[in-house]
Amino acid sequence: MDKDLVGQHDELVHAQVNAEKRRSRDSLAAQRRLLPPHTPIPAFDGTFSTLEAECQRAAYDFGHSIHNSPIAVLKPGSFEDLIRIVQFARQHQLQIAPRGQGHSMYGQAQVKDGIVVDTSSLRNICAIHSDRVEVEAGVLWQDLLRATIEHGLLPPVYPNYPGLSIGGVLSVGGFGPGSQRYGAVVDNVLELQVVTGAGKLEICSPDHQPDLFEATLAGLGQCAIIARATLRLIPAKTRVRVFQLFYPTLASLIQEAESLLHRDDERFDSMLIILAYVDANPGGMWVYMLNAIKSYTPPVDQIENDFLLRDLHYLRGRECIHDMRSIDYVRSIADWTVPHNENDTNYHSWFDVFVPTSTVTNYIHEALKSVSPLRTGFTSILTPLNASRFRRQLLRLPATETFFLIDLLRTDTTREALANSMVYNRTFFERCCALGGTRYPIGMLELSAQDWKKHYGAQWDTFMQMKNLFDPDCILTPGPGIFQQ
Ligand SMILES: Cc1cc2nc3c(=O)[nH]c(=O)nc-3n(C[C@H](O)[C@H](O)[C@H](O)COP(=O)(O)OP(=O)(O)OC[C@H]3O[C@@H](n4cnc5c(N)ncnc54)[C@H](O)[C@@H]3O)c2cc1C
């Protein structure tokens, strides 16, 4: 870096450190606003708590960087509770943040001096039919997968990590196994029951109240609280074969994934690229792996490894291939948990963007080169995706035929390192935008009102109209900072 750039970078980091310190001081340590004494609290079916410990818990998320403490936490016992809390909030000019599992990284599910609606109490899997499942918003994906696979069924797409809530994933988009063929989780929703910011319980679907449906899916909780969803199910094949293929270079792996994406043979059901920095002598080294999955039902489907792998360019002899029953595979995924709680002292400054395919190799090269200091265990996940599979209006994706979702999974142990990561995230966000990429809004990045407007582009005016219509007092989900009250 030249001297000017080093100076600018240091200044930015310094400003970021101060901003971080200010933010955490202003929020956690500040005197919490309380409900005025004798405020009549509605009779809830669930629990409404103003206990300090409960509020502090709701002030944490996976990122551990922002801590905005609410004045109360509602664990709804019914959908009527959602109506009651919205009406109460409107009456008292309070804001509400729906919260699933708090796996957001930058305060998306928090609200300072407002009310957190902790949906973990809405945990019923209401009905499993042959082609769909009706499920409450607080259900975890792992519980849903365990339940549906028992019936030989699966959602066409589910998140790679299933310790997330249905509502949390539907409010961001949802990528994972099946995304190459079926798009995002939000592309596979048949119907929603929601409580809008106006306090109305509504049913919406592509045919009934489609505006509300579109404003809710990948809508970052801005227009409505999701209470219940009807998700598509498809028959699960009985067996799964997992191929872990290693490549000599990043470029060769990206090229392979791109060419597989463009073929019509849908050779694999799902593809994920894992870039891991591992121990090596001396120092560390990158490992480039393609994780490809093929499901099949013998004897109807015959799959031959030699045929599937015939023209691929991985390092022969280093591949790992596992074959198992689908039910065991799904159970093993469902058992995976990434624990996080308020005692975790690490900051997760994850960074997530969609980058057009033609630019992805250079982009990721630059991004990885600038991760400093590199530590063993640093991982990045790339998901190759095809634009034709995605339909939701608020899921902002590049305007190219194919693109990659890039997740850089970084952990920082000090505030200074975190501040560095924030500068890094901003730099690579801007670079991504310049290349025609977009942001997957789950990670740690501060966006201004102007940034959000750019993010939504042609959808901005419609989104604003929907916000005014369905959340007229702007009480829902201030965390992302999209609309000002
Ligand atoms: C370890 C880890 C693994 C991940 N893996 C994946 C993955 O494989 N694929 C993927 O796509 N993403 C993944 N993510 C990102 C994840 O999907 C989002 O962060 C998701 O929003 C988290 O779900 P949650 O239940 O924790 O939601 P929260 O963090 O609690 O909430 C997220 C946002 O959704 C809103 N929200 C929550 N519930 C509702 C509701 N009922 N109605 C309306 N709005 C609501 C909140 O207000 C907030 O704005 C991962 C994140 C982590 C930390």
User: For position 261, which CATH number holds?
Assistant: 3.40.462.10
The residue out of 117, 136, 151 marking a domain boundary is 117
Distance 100 CA to ligand 1 centre (A): 7
- Comparing C-alpha atoms, which of 290, 301, 293, 291 is closest to residue 324? 293
**pLDDT of amino acid 8:** 54
Q: Which of 117, 133, 148 is the last residue of a domain?
A: 117
- Of 305, 334, 363, at which residue does a domain stop? 334
How does pLDDT run across 94-109, given as a tens digit for each residue?
999 999 999 999 999 9
In the predicted model, is pLDDT for residue 5 greater than 60? no
Determine the average pLDDT of the residues in 73-78: 98
With a pLDDT cut of 90, the percent of the chain lying above it is 81
How many Cβ atoms sit within 10 Å of the Cβ of residue 265?
7
High-pLDDT (> 70) share of the chain, %: 91
> How far, in Å, from the CA of 264 to the mean position of ligand 1?
32
Q: Among 25-34, 137-146, 184-193, 289-298, which stretch is predicted with the lowest mean pLDDT?
A: 25-34
What's 75's domain CATH number?
Answer: 3.30.43.10
How far, in Å, is the centroid of ligand 1 from the Cα of 103?
A: 5
SS3 212: helix
* Separation between Cα atoms, residue 395 and residue 168, nearest integer Å: 14
Q: Which residues pair with 192 in a beta bridge?
A: 204, 229
In a domain, 15, yes or no: no
Angle in degrees, CA 22, 28, 29, rounded to 5: 80
Indicate the number of domains in the chain. 2
d(CA 389, CA 180): 7
445-457 residue pLDDT tens: 999 999 999 999 9
Q: Is residue 271 part of a domain?
A: yes
Q: What is the C-alpha to C-alpha distance for residues 125 and 433, in angstroms, rounded to an integer? A: 39
In this prediction, residues 464-480 reach a mean pLDDT of: 98
Alpha carbon distance 247, 321 (integer Å): 15
pLDDT for the residue 334: 86
Pick the atom of ligand 1 nearest to 61's CA.
29
Alpha-carbon distance of 361 to 422, in angstroms, equals 22
> Structural domain of residue 290, as residue ranges?
239-334
For the chain, helix (H) and strand (E) counts, in that order, are: 14, 21
Cα–Cα distances (Å) from 423 to 32, 420, 450, in that order, read: 30, 5, 18
Tell me which of 158, 169, 440 to substitute to probe ligand 1's pocket, judged by most ligand atoms within 8 Å of the beta carbon. Answer: 169
Determine which residue's CA is closest to atom 39 belonging to ligand 1.
Answer: 167
Amino acid identity at 118: D
